[in-house]
Structure 1
Amino acid sequence: MADAAAEPLADPVTAPVTALGADPLPAALDVLRTARESGLAAALARAVRHLDFTAPCSDGGLCVLPARTAPDLRGWLLAGRVVPVERATVRPGPRHELAEREGLEVLRVVPDDTAGPGPGPGSAPRGPGPRSAQDRLDLAGTLFAALRAGLAEALLERAVAHVAGRRSGDRPLLERQLVRAKVADCVAAVRACELLLTTSGADPHAAHELHRRLDEADAALTNLFGGAGYLADHPVRSLYVSAYVGSLWAPSPRDPGEGWS
């Protein structure tokens, strides 16, 4: 496991953020560390800051954010363009109990089409930041993959402690060959995701592959907790919630036919 205490967690308000268009790796590692040390909501807030206070939405306008984050936003990434906050109406979205337990809220963003033509795909909302909606979408996919990798790493430590503290007959559960094999598979999956993240940069194809691999790692981690891993009050719910949020945040690859080994 990486040493979470090796580097102090940056203050979520005053810490600098990466300018859009710059090397995305420092931003991704910041989000990964925040997820590992402080959880889903804190890491999602950091990702929003690295996106210059814009938040991705589904094509239908659904967005998931840490509670009370919306008033700080400058724009919404919606249907391939940036919609400034003054050109959209925000309403409560469908309730999601597990997301609420993680300190998140679901919103529905409705562009105000009566206000005249909005900014196109190459436009940006008011304030500093990157140039295009596609730049933000690509970065969002990378940042959210980093967030999920950080959560998986933190839950992996909990899972190992869980099986180490349980017994099967007269032996610790962790000594059982099948359990050890499952733990080894989870470690390999999480490490592979971290390696791919640090070597691929912001390539949208890599982000898509990361999310696919993280789906598999999350399922294996949940299984290590046994029946407890399916309870709403268990910390492993953050993996399920992050997969749901990622379905709104992470863009589809531009060329699904391009694969990664």
Structure 2
Amino acid sequence: MNGAAADDLRRCRDLGRDGGLAAGLAAVLEGLDPAAEAPGGAAVLPAAAVGAGGAGSAEVLPHPFAALEGLAVVRFGGSGAGPGLTGRRAARLAAVRAGLLSRMLDTAVERLTDRRFGGIPLIDHQLVGGSVADVVTEIAVTSAAPESDSAEAVWDRHERLTEAGWVTTRLFGAEGYITDHPVRALYMSALAADLWLARPDVPEGAR
């Protein structure tokens, strides 16, 4: 991967971390017609994009988290047979998601440092520290340049991010499951990937 491509992924990661999913997704989808590209006829879009360009005929679906994150879940008319995000756009989305995950992990670590169990900060408990370390590793791997652009590799990369997001959500305890907690952004991150990426073909015998 050349330096310009590496810099682009770093910018996407920083945008996800500092600007959030809506800002990062806007950069990933720039110049793309959502109605023509979404693989399943539905997509997560920045709320500002709804009613503009290819999203003009989209039906906004109710979602408890979307508006709170500056996003909209939409459904398009038509067959929904678009290719989804591939190649560079899929890698950029992964970098955005990794940046967002990094921000949420930092917030979780602050919480775990301030809380104690048995007189010991939660962050110093072996299982908790191990979970944090695992997420740090996933952030580094999934925000770097992909070794392959195959559908299977793209899907696996984003599934790893989704799993790391659930691990991070659990680090917030019960707080991670209420609507007004900012970790809801990780749920929207997983949903965006699920709707924007075409699932790879799975051989019949492997199902």
Fold conserved (TM > 0.5)?
yes
Q: Is the 8 A contact 2:84 2:197 kept in 1?
A: no
Find the partner of 1:105 among 50, 62, 72: 72
Distance in structure 2 (CA, Å) of the matches to 1:248 and 1:136: 10
Distance in structure 2 (CA, Å) of the matches to 1:28 and 1:189: 15
Structure 1 window deviating more from structure 2 (151-160 vs 184-193): it is 184-193
Distance in structure 1 (CA, Å) of the matches to 2:89 and 2:146: 17
Q: CA deviation at 1:189?
A: 2.4
Q: What is the CA deviation profile of residues 203-251 of structure 1, one whole-angstrom value per residue up to 9, with x for unaligned ones?
A: 4332111112112211111111111111111111111111112111112
Q: Which residue of 2 aligns with 1:16?
A: none
SS of residue matched to 1:198: coil
Extract unaligned runs of 5+ from structure 1. 1-22, 77-88, 114-120, 122-132
Give the letter for the 2:45 counterpart.
L
Give the letter for the 1:208 counterpart.
W
Q: CA deviation at 1:171?
A: 2.1
Q: CA deviation at 1:168?
A: 1.3
Q: What is the CA deviation profile of residues 148-174 of structure 1, one whole-angstrom value per residue up to 9, with x for unaligned ones?
A: 111111111111111011111322222
Q: CA deviation at 1:134?
A: 5.0
Shift of the 169–223 alpha-carbon distance from structure 1 to 2, 3 Å rule, reads same
SS of residue matched to 1:97: coil
1:45 matched to 2:12? The reply is: no
Give the letter for the 1:206 counterpart.
A
Find the partner of 2:33 among 37, 54, 62: 54
Extract unaligned runs of 5+ from structure 2. none
Identity fraction in percent: 34
Q: Which residue of 2 aligns with 1:226?
A: 173
Aligned residues: 197
Shift of the 142–192 alpha-carbon distance from structure 1 to 2, 3 Å rule, reads closer
SS of residue matched to 2:76: strand
CA RMSD of aligned residues (A): 2.7
1:165 matched to 2:144? The reply is: no
Higher helix share: 2
TM-score normalised by the chain length of structure 2: 0.81
Q: Is the 8 A contact 2:115 2:121 kept in 1?
A: yes
Q: Which residue of 1 aligns with 2:199?
A: 252
Q: Is the 8 A contact 1:186 1:220 kept in 2?
A: yes
Shift of the 216–107 alpha-carbon distance from structure 1 to 2, 3 Å rule, reads closer
Larger RCO: 1 or 2 (CA < 8 Å, sep 6+) = 2
1:150 matched to 2:99? The reply is: yes
Higher strand share: 1
Q: Is the 8 A contact 2:51 2:57 kept in 1?
A: no
Q: Which has the larger radius of gyration?
A: 1
Q: What is the CA deviation profile of residues 107-158 of structure 1, one whole-angstrom value per residue up to 9, with x for unaligned ones?
A: 22224x9xxxxxxx9xxxxxxxxxxx75954444323222211111111111
